[in-house]
Structure 1
Amino acid sequence: MGLNKELKNGILISAIGKYSYYIVQFVVLAILSRILKPTEFGIVSIINVIIIFFQMLIDMGIGPAIIQNKTLKNNQINSIFSFTILLSIALSILFALLSGPIAIFYNSNQLIGVCLVMSIALLTSGLNMVPQSILLKQKKFLKMNIAQVTSSIVSGIVGIILATCQFSYYALVISAILKNLIMLAIIFKQTNLRVTKNIRLVDLKPIYAFSKNQFLFNLINYFSRNLDNILIGKFMTLKDLSYYDRAYTLSLYPNQILTNVITPVIQPVMSEYESQKDIIKRTYLGITKILAFIGMPLSVFLFFSSKEIIYILFGSQWTGSVLTLQILSLSIWIQMILSSTGSIFQSVNRTDLLLLSGVLSTILNIIGIVVGVFTGKIEYVALMLVFSFSINFIQCNYLLMVKIFKTKQKEFYIVLLHPLIISSMIIASILIVEYFLESYSLYLLLIIKGVISIIMFVLGMKITGNVNLLYKFFKREG
């Protein structure tokens, strides 16, 4: 099977499953947002930040390393799996023991009980790590997606029922645990993994160099991506944290819906071409072009439609998220393109440069977050993050184009020209709509803005000569 065909087939299968998964997640979130209060979401948001850190410690870069290494034998993989089980148990116990200090740090006794229950969610998440990597390594994207969608539907229904039964934020926690358990039950059978007592360091050695750099990147990237929630939770109110987290989560949905369909496929497929950098470069520029054509117009639409989206989906109690979402929407296209770069660094086996990019990104993001939190307004935190994302966009692509592909950055930025033209057309059309139809209902305004954006997008694709681009990319070859 050729590279293009393999990528397209993988992306198509991934898209069907991922979109089903995100639709389920989005519907569940919209329902729960009308049942639970912003402060209840704020409590879980605080714990989720810490849980992500412990999940990263469990992963240790092992997942991508398993995918990249083509020489691992079954006994080595079983040894690695058994190691991650012990690590998951140990770190889950540690997290539970830290429930008291975490509650003291955030000055909230409510966090003690939540932490104790979330330690179970951490354990079940850790058990899933190696089985998921095995399925991706074997390119069994369909089976992975079936497991994700099934677990999300069942856990989402349970979470909604618990929320209506006054379980408060525990509805979210129990739903997360159930989702991980169902996921594990489905995918474990597909992997033929075995738990072994013989955990040997020699079995971990083949993935050490790759996983070391990947882990350090993940560690640095964690603080880059989560320090905002940590500091907002500490120095601002739970309501502020909830408003910010909701806006940030919404700004990530386009990224998740599009790049999370593509990036899980890139490394398993492109790692076969590790020494053929010209092929990887062409693929990267092609993916960037697709993401820019979708991401830039989407950023424009969300910038002008933040109020309608927040009010329609979650209700007026989430008004505090509107301006923050509007600001963060400016960086959506940037984050979409950046999200694909990690798989490219991995595919050429340059996790050292991935680590360097992560260090630079983290420094800029931390400075931006601290400055934003110092102002005491979540909107300024969002604004500073948009600025740091923009600088990171430049440095990351410098490392890829100049240091890895040995070419000029100009080749990359030319790809962005036509998407920028189309986005400008959408901006002009929406400004006209808002001027003449400002007093219309939120529902009607959202529909009109959406229709106008689509018309301008199609017209722009035609004018720039790219009307067949998306069709050709996603066309499934026989």
Structure 2
Amino acid sequence: MDLKKRLGYSTIWMSIGATGTSITSFVVFVVISRLLTPAEIGLVAFTLILVDIGKLIANAGLGKAIVQDPECGETFASTCFYLNLIFATLTAALFYFIGVPLVEAFYDPAAGPILQVLCLLLFLEGVKAVHEGKLKRSFAFRIIAARTVFSSLISGVVGVYMAFAGYGVWALVAQQVVNLGLVSLTTIWMARWRPSLTFSAGHARKLMRFSSPLLAAQLMGTVSSKVYELLVGILIGPAALGLFKVGGRALYILQDIVLKPFEHTLLSALSRLPDTPTMAHATMRVIRMSAYMTFPIFFGAAAIAPDFIVLVFGQKWETSGQLMTILALGIPPMVVGFHIKDALTAKGHSRQVMNLAGVMLAINGVLGLSTVPLGLTAAAVGFSARNYIVLVFYLRLFRRMMGQSPMGVLKAVGPAFTASIMMMLLVMGVGMAVPGDVPTYFSVPMMCLAGIVFYLLLMATAFKQETSNFLDEGADMLPAKVKPVAQVLQRLLGTT
């Protein structure tokens, strides 16, 4: 099977896995959020932000080294495993003995015991990193997808049961621990690999040279993406963080569904391409396809957000709907930057990725400190604005390292961006035209249907060439059984 088809199959499987996992976790979150107060949600949300940062340190970027290395022999993999084990143990200890007292002192004493339990996740993340890297390296994404869906379902059942049983915030904590515990166990079992009792200092130095800049970049990138939530929690309080978190929760689910599959598969695919021009061209094609699929989703989410939040989470979260609209407007530039970062990582430009992450952190810090004290709405505006500012730096680095002009990238995503904006405005108009006495369980689906129909009509008429390119690319990546569907669409649109 050629690389394009492997990428297609892998992306489909990861989409299935991400969709199943995200829907399950979203349902669990909805149930629990209806039972808890914004302040209680804010307590768990703050500790999970810290745990997400800790997971990166525990992983240390070494899992990506397994995927990226052209040979990855037994000694190399075993050395990587033991390094990960050291990082994971030290990180868990650091968070337990230092992080917990700091959280209790500067955030909320009730968050301390929660973080103590979640420190277990940091150790589990490091234990499974190499095994997961081996699965990705061999394009075993069907196994990865099955693992994530299975673990999500079981942990979701546990979380919902505990929520209805009155365990409060501990329902969310238990869900997280059970989920990663099952993921780790099944990953180790399915990888069918055990580390040998070998450790190479030479391999360790090579691993650290590759992973250190990547770890720093991932760490700064994650802190950058979470800095607004951290500042909201510290400067405004747990209840405000709960509202902000709910406003972004549906968007995180959408990102998991439409972006996570690319995150898991694109690096593996691009790392196998022979030279920079080929890799750059492939990245441009992925950016173009991704924009066609994802831009309307996020702009559509912005249009329906106020009604959607009230429908799903309840009236007490109404403020979160306004925040979701603003936050959704900032996702499209992040999609483009996401793919550029993967291309740079696949090419081995981890130090440049690290430097760019430092710039992002500085921008986020300045914007966060400027906007968060002004309130939740200002914080959401700053969060979205930073994605457009950071995209400028991504485009400049893409041109310098891989020869792709910023204008070429903007032209590639222009049709999808324009059509998505037009679609969003139409959906907002439909929402305003719906009588106030129409229930949201009817108006929200009606708005979604109007958006889908209008976007497809625009892309099939005003941007017909873009649709032709999308179907051509998709037809090459689809399984043989599904390919006739794309060919029928091509004939109907007259793009063959």
TM range (shorter): over 0.9
**Matched residue type, 1:103:** E
- Contact 2:331–2:384 (Cα < 8 Å) also in 1: no
Q: Does 1:207 align with 2:207?
A: yes
The Cα RMSD (Å) is 1.9
Whole-angstrom CA distance in 2 between matches of 1:293 and 1:76? 40
Deviation (angstroms), 1:380:
0.6
Matches within 5 A, 1:231-310: 231-273=231-273, 275-310=274-309
Which residue number in structure 2 is paired with residue 104 of structure 1? 105
**Matched residue type, 2:388:** S
**Matched residue type, 1:452:** A
Whole-angstrom CA distance in 2 between matches of 1:54 and 1:199? 25
- Of the candidates 408, 413, 420, which is equivalent to residue 411 of structure 1? 408
Whole-angstrom CA distance in 2 between matches of 1:317 and 1:164? 19
Q: TM-score, normalised by structure 1?
A: 0.94
Which residue number in structure 2 is paired with residue 328 of structure 1? 327
**Matched residue type, 2:406:** Q
Matches within 5 A, 1:73-152: 73-98=73-98, 99-106=100-107, 108-152=108-152
**Matched residue type, 1:178:** V
Report % sequence identity: 16
Deviation (angstroms), 1:197:
5.3
Which residue number in structure 2 is paired with residue 32 of structure 1? 32
Name the SS for the 2:193 alignment partner: coil
Deviation (angstroms), 1:477:
4.5
Which residue number in structure 2 is paired with residue 2 of structure 1? 2
CA deviation digits over 1:332-391, x for unaligned, max 9? Answer: 21222222222111121111221222122221111111111221x111111012111101
CA deviation digits over 1:198-230, x for unaligned, max 9? Answer: 544333123222212101111221321122222
**Matched residue type, 1:204:** A
Which residue number in structure 2 is paired with residue 446 of structure 1? 444
Name the SS for the 1:467 alignment partner: helix
Whole-angstrom CA distance in 2 between matches of 1:86 and 1:349? 24
Deviation (angstroms), 1:280:
1.6
Q: Which runs of 5+ in 2 are unaligned?
A: 481-496
Deviation (angstroms), 1:444:
2.0
Deviation (angstroms), 1:435:
4.0
Whole-angstrom CA distance in 1 between matches of 2:431 and 2:231? 36
Q: Does 1:361 align with 2:327?
A: no
Whole-angstrom CA distance in 2 between matches of 1:94 and 1:417? 46
Name the SS for the 2:7 alignment partner: helix
Q: Residues 469 and 34 of structure 1: is their aligned pair in 2 closer, same or farther, counting only changes over 3 Å?
A: farther
CA deviation digits over 1:134-174, x for unaligned, max 9? Answer: 21111110111111111111011011111112211111112
- Contact 1:66–1:207 (Cα < 8 Å) also in 2: no
Which residue number in structure 1 is paired with residue 455 of structure 2? 457
Q: Residues 36 and 280 of structure 1: is their aligned pair in 2 closer, same or farther, counting only changes over 3 Å?
A: same
- Of the candidates 389, 392, 395, which is equivalent to residue 394 of structure 1? 392
Whole-angstrom CA distance in 2 between matches of 1:179 and 1:165? 19
Whole-angstrom CA distance in 2 between matches of 1:435 and 1:247? 21
Deviation (angstroms), 1:462:
0.9
Which residue number in structure 2 is paired with residue 421 of structure 1? 418
Q: Residues 22 and 471 of structure 1: is their aligned pair in 2 closer, same or farther, counting only changes over 3 Å?
A: farther
Whole-angstrom CA distance in 1 between matches of 2:435 and 2:214? 49
Which residue number in structure 2 is paired with residue 164 of structure 1? 164
Name the SS for the 1:253 alignment partner: helix
**Matched residue type, 1:388:** R
Which residue number in structure 1 is paired with residue 486 of structure 2? none
Which residue number in structure 2 is paired with residue 313 of structure 1? 312
Whole-angstrom CA distance in 2 between matches of 1:407 and 1:234? 41
Q: Residues 219 and 420 of structure 1: is their aligned pair in 2 closer, same or farther, counting only changes over 3 Å?
A: closer
- Contact 2:75–2:198 (Cα < 8 Å) also in 1: no
Q: Which moved more, 1:160-169 or 1:463-472?
A: 463-472
- Contact 1:364–1:388 (Cα < 8 Å) also in 2: yes
**Matched residue type, 2:354:** L
**Matched residue type, 1:433:** V
- Contact 2:60–2:87 (Cα < 8 Å) also in 1: no
**Matched residue type, 1:357:** L
Deviation (angstroms), 1:47:
0.8
Q: Which moved more, 1:141-150 or 1:77-86?
A: 77-86
**Matched residue type, 2:445:** I
Q: Does 1:434 align with 2:435?
A: no
**Matched residue type, 1:57:** I
**Matched residue type, 1:293:** Y
**Matched residue type, 2:356:** S
CA deviation digits over 1:5-61, x for unaligned, max 9? Answer: 222122122222221222222222222222222222111111112112221211221
Name the SS for the 2:206 alignment partner: helix
Q: Which moved more, 1:160-169 or 1:89-98?
A: 89-98
Deviation (angstroms), 1:259:
1.4
CA deviation digits over 1:109-145, x for unaligned, max 9? Answer: 2122212211222222322222211211111101111
How many residues matched?
A: 474
**Matched residue type, 1:46:** F
Q: TM-score, normalised by structure 2?
A: 0.91
- Contact 1:8–1:473 (Cα < 8 Å) also in 2: no
**Matched residue type, 2:57:** L
Whole-angstrom CA distance in 2 between matches of 1:371 and 1:213? 29
CA deviation digits over 1:297-350, x for unaligned, max 9? Answer: 223322221111111111112112111111111112122222222211112111
Which residue number in structure 1 is paired with residue 345 of structure 2? 346
Name the SS for the 2:207 alignment partner: helix
CA deviation digits over 1:55-85, x for unaligned, max 9? Answer: 1211221111221012221132123212322
Q: Which runs of 5+ in 1 are unaligned?
A: none
Name the SS for the 2:183 alignment partner: helix
Which residue number in structure 1 is paired with residue 491 of structure 2? none
Whole-angstrom CA distance in 2 between matches of 1:477 and 1:158? 36
**Matched residue type, 2:7:** L
Whole-angstrom CA distance in 2 between matches of 1:190 and 1:446? 41
Deviation (angstroms), 1:441:
2.1
Q: Residues 307 and 205 of structure 1: is their aligned pair in 2 closer, same or farther, counting only changes over 3 Å?
A: same
- Contact 2:55–2:121 (Cα < 8 Å) also in 1: no
Deviation (angstroms), 1:256:
1.9
